[in-house]
Structure 1
Amino acid sequence: MIRLGFDSKTNFAKSQLLSRSTVTKFFNRQPIQVDTFKKICAELQLNWREATETLVDAIPKGLEKSDCRRLESNKVTEGGQPMQVLKRQVTVLDKDSQKTRVVITLEGDINSPPNLEILALTIKTYSGHTIKIIDIREGSIKITVEGSPEDIEKLLLNFQVGEIKELNGFPVEDIQVLSESSKDEENNDKIDKWRLVREIVNQGARNRNLRDADLSDADLSDANLSDADLRDADLSDADLSGANLSGANLSGANLRSANLIFTNLSGANLSGANLRSANLNYANLNYANLSCARINEQTKIDNKWRLVWEIVNQGARKRKLSYADLGYANLSDANLSDANLIGANLSDANLSDANLIGANLRSANLSNANLSNANLSDAHLIYANLNGVRINEPTKIDSKWRLVWEIVNQGARNHNLIDANLRSANLSNANLSDADLIFANLSGANLSSANLSFANLSSANLSGANLSSANLSFANLKSANLNYANLNDANLNCARINEQTNLNDANVNDANVNGARFKENLGLTEEMKLDLKRQGAIFEDSRIYELTQKL
C-alpha cells in the first residue's frame, strides 16, 4: 500500500469511502461483498480473479437458518396461518464472459456461509459443472458456474419439471437466466453505488429517498441522513459513527456489523432492522422505535437501550424495574402491567398505548411523558411526578389520579375540592390558591412550594404532608390536622389557626409566621410558642400574652 501512497489501512479506507472494518476483513481474508472486493483490488492494482482463490480458501463452512423477517400473504401453513418467507437470491455467475448466468431464488435467511463443497456438488448434479464461490454476504451467495449454455439449459429444465426443489434444505423458488444487459446493469449499479456514497458524504442526504439502497461497506461517518427514507436499505458493515440519522426510517434495514458509535438515531424507526453484531455504544436512541429489531449477544448497545429493547420486544409484565432509567424511551404499546416501577425515571418517555394496569409507579418520574391511550387502571401513582404528562380521553386512569393530573398541569385556583382525596399525591408547585379544600384528605401529600394562599383548609387532613416552602399566607387552617407536617420555610403570614388546629410534632423551623394567629394549639410547647412569637406570630390566649409582656 505504501508504494501506492497509502501509509495505513485507515487512510486507504477513508480515501475509498470504505468502512475500516471492511478493509480489515479484506486483509484478513474474510468474506466481503463482491463489488467491494473488486473495488479494493482495483485500487491496490491486484487481479481480483487471482485474489478470489485466496478468499474462497479462507471461507469457513457451516449452514444456519434463522427466523424469517418478511411476511408474504400468499404463503400459509397447514393451519391456515401466514408463513414467514424471506426471499434470498443466489446469483450464479460465469467465470468466462461467454458463459450463461442464472439467478436462483431461495426461501430462507442465510446467516452464515454454507458448506461450499456440498453446495457445489449439489448444483453440479443438475448442471454438470464446477462451482466456485466468489462472494458471501448475509442473505446472498454469489457463485461462479463454468459450463456451457446447454448444461445451464439442463439446470433450468430440471427445475421446471420439479427435480430441483431445494438446495441444502433451502426451497428453490425460481431460477432465471440473466441476459448480457443484466450484466451491464449490475456493473452500472455498482458504479452508481459508490457515486451515491460520495454524494451522501459530500452533500448529505437529509429527507432523501434511499429505500432499498446498497450502502454496505461504505464510510458514512458524520454524514447527515436525518429524516432519510432508508427502508430495507443495506448498511451492513457500514461506518455510520457520528452520523445524523435522527428521524430516519430504517425499517427493515440491514445494519449488521455496522459502526453506529455516537450516531444520532433519535426518533429513528428501527422496526424490523437487523442490528446483529452492530456497535451502538453511545448512540442516541431517544424515542427510537426498536420493535422487532434484531440484536444478538455481539450487538454492542448501552444497558439502558438493551433494556428498552427487551421491554418492547419481550414485554415486562411483573418485571422488577425499580429505579430503572427509561427516560426518553419509546415504549409505545409496551406491556408493563403489574411491573415494579418504583422510583423509575420515565421522564419524556413515549408510553402511548402502553399497558400499565396494576403497575407500581410510586415516586416514579413521569414528567413530560406521553400517556395518550395508555391503560393505567389500578396503577399506583403515589408521589409520582405527573408534571407535563400528556393524557387524553381514552387514557384509562383512576379518577383520583386524573384529578391530581388536572391540579398539577391545569392548576386548581378557586376550585371546589371539598372532601377531595389527594392522599399521598405529588402536588409540588401546584397552584391551589383560593381553593376550597374543606375536609380534603392531603395526608402524606407532597405540597412543597405549592401555592395555598387564601385556600380554605379548615378541617383538612394534612398529617405528614410536606409543606416545605409552601405559600400558606392568609390560608384558613382552623381545625386542620398538621400532625407531623413539614412546615419548614413555609409562609404562614396571616394564616388563620385556632385551638383545634393540630400542630403536634409539626416542623415549623424557619417558617414565616408573621401575623399568623395561634391559640392553644395541640403540640406547641412553651418554647415553640416563644420562638414563634419572636418571629411575629400572634397568640391570643392570655397566658402567653402575659408571658410575652414580661420579656
Structure 2
Amino acid sequence: MADNPLQPRPYDLVLGAPVAPEGAAVLGGWEGVESRWANGTIAGQIKALKEAQKYGSPGLNLAILTLRNSTGELFWVAYSLLRDSPEPAAKIALREYRWDADQVRAYYSAGFRDFSGANLSQVQLPWEDLRQIIFSGANLQNANLANAHLAGAHLGATNLMGANLSHADLCDADLTRAQLQGANLRGAKINGGTKLDRKWRLVWQILNPETLTPDLKEADLSSADLKSANLKDTNLTRAYLKSVNLSGALLVNAHLSSALLVDADLSSSYLSGADLTNAHLRGANLRGADLKNARMGGANLQGGDLRGADLRSADLRGACLKDGYLRGANLRGADLRGASLEGADLRSANLRGANLIGAKIGGAPDSAGALLDGKWLLVWQIVNQPTPARALRTADLSGAMLRSANLKEADLTGADLSDADLSGADLRGACLRYANLRGAALIGAHLSHVCLQGAHLKEANLRVANLRCAHLEGAHLENANLTGAKLRGANLESTQLMDADLGSANLREVNLINACLWRANLQGARLEGADLTGADLSDATLSGAKLSTAFLPGG
C-alpha cells in the first residue's frame, strides 16, 4: 500500500520522530535542527550543524559550543563554519580557542590542512612535518616551530611574533605580510620560491652566516630578533632599529650614527669603537654592554639602562643621560663634557679619569639631581664651581680628572691625588704637604710657590710643569718625569729623586742639598747656581748638563 503523505513518517521531525535517515532533509525549522542534533548520529549532527547556520545567532552559538566541546570531524566542521563566518562572535571564538600540538598533529595526519585563523599561540611543534599546511591569518605567537618542515606552507598575514623558526624549512612558503617581530629566523631555510617581505628577508640575511651582510644604511630592522648577530664594521647609519633585539650582538666598530634605537635591547652587546654619534637610544637596554672607546657624542640615552656597562674612554660629549641607570657602570676615562646627567643614577660608577667639565647634574628646583658618590660630586664641584682657597684637606681625589682645574691656594694637605690628572691645573700657592700624588699627571701644571713638603710624587708626570720656588723638601719623586720642568729657585733638600728624569729641566739656583739623585737623568739640565752639597749623584747621567757655578758634592 502506498504511503499516505498525510501520515507521519519516521524522519518527520515536525512530528517528533526519534530517528531520521542521515541524508534526510532537516525539517521543522529550528525545532527540527535541535531534534536532529539531539538524536542524530555524527553525520546527522554535522548536517544539523550546517543547517543551523541559517538561523543566525542560535546557529552560531551552536557552532561555538561544538568547537569547545567536541572532537573529530564534528569539531572540524564547527571550526570551518566559524572560520568562514563574517560574524564578530565567530572571530572572537576562534581567537579564544587555543589549539594544542596533539590536535594539530591529529587533524593534519587525517588530511586536514586549513588552519587559517586558528589560535595556535605557544604551540609546540618542533621537527613536525607540516608541509603545505595553511596557517594564513593564524595566531602562532611564541610558537615553537624549530626545525619544522613548512615547505610550501601558507603563512600569509600570520602572527609569528616571537615564534621560534630556527632551522625550519620555509622553502616555497608564503610569508607575505607575516608578522615576524621577535621571531627567530636563525638557520631557517628559504629559497627563491619563498615569499618573504623585504624587511624579514634582510633579517634572515643578517642571521645567515653564509650570506654577505649588506649595507644596512637607513634599513628598517625594527622589532627584529638579531640576538648575537655579527654586525662588526656594518654600516647602520640612520637605520630604524626601534625595539630591535641585539642582545649579545657583535657591533664592534659598527656605524650607528643617527640610528633610531629607542627601546632597543643591546644588553651584553659588543659595541667597542662603535659610532653612535647622535643616535636615539631613549629607553634602550645597554646593561652590561661593552662600549669601550665608543663615540656617543650627542646621543640621546634618556632613561636608558647602562648598569654595569663598560664605557671606558667613551666619548659622551653632549649626550643626554637624564634619568639613566648607570649604577656600577665603568666610565673610567670617559668624556662627559656637556653631558646631561639630571636624575641619572651613577652610584658605585667608576668615574676615574672621567671628564665632568660642563656636565649637567641638576638639583635645581625644576630638575632632579644626579645620584653621585660623594667623591665624584666633589670632583664635579671642583671642575665646574671653582672656589678660591678651597678646603680639601685629606680629600680623596684619586684618579680624578682635574685637568686645567682652578685649585689656586687650595688646602690639599694629606689629600689623595694618586693617578689624578692635574695637567694644566692652576695650583699656585696651594698646600700639598704630605699629599699622595703617586702616578699623577701634572704635565704643564702651575705649581709655583706650592708646598709639596713630604709629598709622594713617585712615578708622577711633571713634564714642563712650573715648579718655580716650590717647596719639595723631603718629597718622594722616584721615577718621576720632570723633563723640561721649571724648578728655578725650588727647594728640593733631602728630596728622593732616584731614577727620576730631569732631562732639560731648569734647576738653576735649586736647593738639592742631601738630595738622592741616584741613577737620575740630568742630561741637558741647567744647574747653574744649584746647591748639590751632600747630594747622591751615583750613576746619574750628567752629559750636557750645565753645572757652572753649581755647588757639587765634595766641593
Length-normalised TM-score, structure 1: 0.43
Bigger relative contact order, structure 1 or 2 (CA pairs below 8 A, ≥6 apart): 1
More helix by percentage: 1
Q: Kindly name which structure, 1 or 2, has the bigger radius of gyration based on alpha carbons.
A: 2
TM-score (norm 2): 0.43
